[in-house]
Each structure stands twice: as C-alpha cells, then as structure tokens.
Structure 1
Amino acid sequence: MSTAQTQSSIPMKKQPYPFWLGGLAATIAASITHPLDLTKVRLQASGDKRMVESIKKTYRTAGARGLFDGISGTWMRQMSYSMCRFWAYDESKKLLGAGKDAPAWKLALAGSMAGGIAGFVGNPGEIVMVRLQGDFAKPPEKRFGYKNCFDALFRMVREEGVSSLARGVGPNVFRAVLMNASQLASYDFFKAELLKTPYFSDNIVVHFTASFAAGTVATTVCSPADVLKSRIMNASGPGSSSTLGTIRAALKTEGAGFMFKGWVPAWTRLQPTTILIFLTLEQLKNGVDWSRARGVTWL
C-alpha cells in the first residue's frame, strides 16, 4: 500500500467546535423564554402567588413590553455564565477522559467542575439579571431603577462597592454546580442511552427527548438553591445577604416548602429553555460542520 493511500485511510481528528457556541445557543433560548424567567424570579422574590396572575399583573402594569423587562441582563448573564459553562464542561470532560459512552458519575463530575467555574465567573451577570427582572415587582420607592445591564453593573460598583458583585456567590456557585451536573450531564447521559437502542438515531427526536428529561431533572435538583439565590440577590442593606439568615427567616415564616416555591414556573421556564438550548446547539454544530466542509475554516 502506498504512503498516500495509508495517509488517506487514517481518519482526520475532528476539530473542536467554537467555544462560544454554547453561549450563543443559550442566549437565543433565553431570549425566547424571557417572560417565563421574569415571572419565576418575581414569584420567588416578591409577594406574587401564582404564575398566571403574575403574568397578568406584569402585562396590566407595563404592557407586552413589560414581559421583556431586564432582557439586557439576561443577555449579559448568558454570554458570561452560559458561555463559560459549556466551554468548561467540554474541557472538564477532556480532563476526566469522559468520552461518548462515559458513565453518569463522570459526566456529573465534569458538569460540577464546569458549574463551579461558571457560577463564579458569571455571578455579576446573574445579579444584574435578577435585579433587572425583579425591579418592577417592587414598590417604586424600593426599586433600583437601572437603565440597562451596563448601568446596573457600574452603579453597583459605584454605590455598593466592588464586593457587591460577589453578593450571593455561594448559593449561585452551588446552584451552578447542581444545574450543570444535572442539566448538561443528564442530557449527554440520556442522549447516549437513547442512541444505544435500535429505535433512535442522532437526530432532532433524540435531542428533544434527552433535553426534555434533562430539563425536568435540573428543575427539581436546582429549585432550593435557585430560590435562595433570587432572594439574596434581590435584597439590599446590611446583613441582608446572609444565606443562613435567609434560610432561617424563610423556614420560620413559610416552612420547608419555600425551597420549591415557584417550581411550576421554574419547570415551565427551564423545560423549553433546556430544549431550545440543546436543539439550537445541535443545529449550530451542524451548521459549523456544514461550513467547514465547504472550506470556512474560521468556524
């Protein structure tokens, strides 16, 4: 066999996908589901009791545009936290040797590592998003009144100090660890399990089914940390950011059920978001493959 034939028979190593694909997919998904995310935050951080009533209240007081209050904060959060978590997850899988058929514990460990990194890096964007979304649910005299995500970031540093960017970082990192260990890892796990059966192939049906399962798992696992994060980040004033203090106060007035307050809107928001993220990500990857096959080397 000639040298040329030998070289052509060796499969070329596939290039990694651009690190920003996950952040772009998450931004697209979060933009579509923003009204549901807005409602979830307001249920967790305010006195609103029901999802539909909260949506009606927002529409009645601010119109259709009000359903997209704070969307610049959502974009900032996705392009920091989500971009970082997808990149860190892929790198963590490489570090752990978690291939296509990796066991669930190894995927969960990679997700936990990614969540810890992304939760810390994305904390400022998380605070900005939560404050922008929750602002109009407060009485006028208690509102922050931020114009956009950048105004929020600069004013926080100027008025509350640089340390304010770390407000709630503990529960946020904890939630990010739980989210990535459950959402990213379970998607890969369910997808791999489905592809082992003779009934499925790597297409949109598998992507939808795996992401639906991942969304349900992630909502349940993350609910307690999500509630704590929203309450602490929305708080202001000395002593209001204590995690233990928030837990004690909530247990005293609401009981242990407070940890799952807003589960239905959280599931209603996270489920389509999870599905949209992974469906979009898979299509973006297909687009990159298509472009590379036609000589577009920068993708």
Structure 2
Amino acid sequence: FPLDTAKVRLQIQGETKSPANTGHGPVKYRGVFGTISTMVRVEGPRSLYSGLVAGLQRQMSFASVRIGLYDSVKQFYTKGSDHVGIGSRLMAGCTTGAMAVALAQPTDAVKVRFQAQISAGASKRYHGTMDAYRTIAKEEGFRGLWKGTGPNITRNAIVNCTELVTYDLIKDALLKSSLMNDDLPCHFTSAFAAGFCTTVIASPVDVVKTRYMNSAQGQYSSALNCAVAMLTKEGPKAFYKGFMPSFLRLGSWNVVMFVT
C-alpha cells in the first residue's frame, strides 16, 4: 500500500490547482524512497496508509466480482466449449474487470483522494472514509463517486491484455533463443519484464485516471480535457509520473500471479 500511495503523490505532483495541497505549501517528492521518506518525515508513518479502509473495501468488492464471475463469463464467450483460447480469456478478463471497476469505483475514488490528501495540519479535505463518501455525494452528486470510471476501465483492460500477451511473448522468446530453460527463473524474468511493458503502456491512462478522480468539481470537464491540460502545461513526461512505484507494484504482482 505505501508504494501505491507514493505513486499517487508522484502522479499528482506539479498539477496546478490540485485540491490535495489546499492550505499547505508545495511538497516536492523525488523518487519512490524519497517520496516515502518525505511523507514519513512531514506527515508521519500513518500517512503511507491513508485511504487503507477504502482500499480494502475496493479490493473486496473488485475481487469478488472479477474472480467470482470470471468462469461464467469465460464460458459465455466459449459457448461451453472445452477449448479456451487466449482471446476468450482476454475478453472474459476485460468484461469482468469492467464490471468490477463499475461496482468498486466509489471506493477507488475515495482511496485516491485520501492518498493524495496531505495529512499534516488541520486543513483536511476529508476526515474519515464515511465522511468522504458523504462529502463527495453532497458536493458533486452521486456522479462524483463514479468520476474517472472511463479511464479506470480503460486502464484495467490495457493491464489485463498487455500483461498476459507480453508474458507469453517474452517467455517464448527466451525459450526459443535458448537463453533460459522452462523453469522458475524464466517465469520470474518473463513476469517482471511483462510488468515493465505493461507499465509503459498503461502509465499515461493511469496518471490521467488518478488526476481526474482526485480533481475538484469543475477543474476538468472530462478525462480527455485532463489529458490535454497535462500535455500542454507539463509536457509528455507528465504521463509517466509515478512510473517506478507503479512498475514495482505491477512487476511484483505479475511475479506472484505467473510464478505461484
């Protein structure tokens, strides 16, 4: 969770009129461990777990839909056939992922806003998980709780497709070139490399998703407007802010998923 929080802080850094820094001077973050150490020094160790309750709520609701419905949706795409190709797996993963995102979006929005919120001082945007749900619904309407659903679903689809395809491609290339045998080091290398490729492709959408979900009402008219504002004001490099913690999270997750 601290890596995810560091990723969010790096992704919103440099954003003009960011609601996360209301009432505070600008805090500069440098790298993964620099961000974590700065947060601990300025806000205390608990700041690394800001939004944990909403994060757990998200994980429970997201995983229950994505994993619980995966086999049923896969059978729908294969029409009951015993042969399950990679296309059917990707379609089932993207479909259940989109359904899970749509259900869990309010918890994700609250999690991101807590992670972005600087804990030091009295000027806090939200004072508790339930207070965040109530405040967002009151100030932005129930649509505010589902802000960023589009880019979130897009990111989920990109991650699902890219990590599976790149893992297979990298593993096949390593085996065909006789660089490695079909054993644990090969699977570990393929999984970690797939995490890197996936982060490269998904990072721009992930940064836009984070900024749009965290934005104050009226700050951006749409996710596309957020992306254009980033490009014009901060340049293309802004789309890769928070790359390293994102890669470390995704790479380690891929190793767990493909190796175990």
Scaled by the length of structure 2, the TM-score of the pair is 0.77
1:222 to 1:134, Cα distance in 2 relative to 1, 3 A: same
Cross-structure match for 1:129: 111
CA contact (8 A) 2:97 2:157 kept: yes
Cross-structure match for 2:142: 162
Question: Structure 1: how far apart are the matches of 2:113 and 2:190?
Answer: 32
Larger radius of gyration: 1
Q: Does 1:38 align with 2:11?
A: no
Question: Structure 2: how far apart are the matches of 1:134 and 1:46?
Answer: 10
Question: Structure 2: how far apart are the matches of 1:189 and 1:93?
Answer: 20
Deviations 1:241-275 (A, max 9, x none): 52122122111112222222221221022222343
Question: Structure 2: how far apart are the matches of 1:105 and 1:59?
Answer: 45
Deviating runs (4+, > 6 A) in structure 1? Answer: 98-101, 190-194, 204-207
Q: Does 1:86 align with 2:67?
A: yes
Cross-structure match for 1:224: 204
Deviation at 1:38, TM superposition (A): 0.4
Deviations 1:210-262 (A, max 9, x none): 54344233322211110001101111122535212212211111222222222
Deviation at 1:207, TM superposition (A): 6.5
Unmatched runs of 5 consecutive residues or more in structure 2: 15-27
What are the residue-to-residue correspondences of 1:171-186 with 2, within 5 Å?
171-183=151-163, 185-186=164-165
Deviations 1:150-192 (A, max 9, x none): 3322332233321111211111111122122234x44985799
> 1:86 is matched by which residue type in structure 2?
I
Cross-structure match for 1:254: 234
Cross-structure match for 1:75: 56
Cross-structure match for 2:42: 61
Deviation at 1:147, TM superposition (A): 1.5
Question: Structure 2: how far apart are the matches of 1:171 and 1:113?
Answer: 15
Question: Structure 2: how far apart are the matches of 1:158 and 1:273?
Answer: 36
The 3-state SS of whatever aligns with 1:122 is: helix
Q: Between Structure 1 and Structure 2, how many residues are aligned? A: 241
Unmatched runs of 5 consecutive residues or more in structure 1: 1-33, 283-299
> 1:168 is matched by which residue type in structure 2?
G
* Higher RCO (C-alpha under 8 Å, 6+ residues apart): 2
CA contact (8 A) 2:6 2:242 kept: no
Identity of aligned residues (%): 31
1:121 to 1:93, Cα distance in 2 relative to 1, 3 A: same
> 1:117 is matched by which residue type in structure 2?
M
CA contact (8 A) 1:116 1:173 kept: yes
The 3-state SS of whatever aligns with 2:49 is: coil
> 2:54 is matched by which residue type in structure 1?
G
Scaled by the length of structure 1, the TM-score of the pair is 0.68
1:154 to 1:189, Cα distance in 2 relative to 1, 3 A: farther
Question: Structure 2: how far apart are the matches of 1:174 and 1:137?
Answer: 30
CA contact (8 A) 1:118 1:176 kept: no
1:54 to 1:85, Cα distance in 2 relative to 1, 3 A: same
RMSD: 3.3
Cross-structure match for 1:8: none
1:206 to 1:49, Cα distance in 2 relative to 1, 3 A: same
CA contact (8 A) 1:233 1:241 kept: no
CA contact (8 A) 1:130 1:234 kept: yes
CA contact (8 A) 2:199 2:246 kept: yes
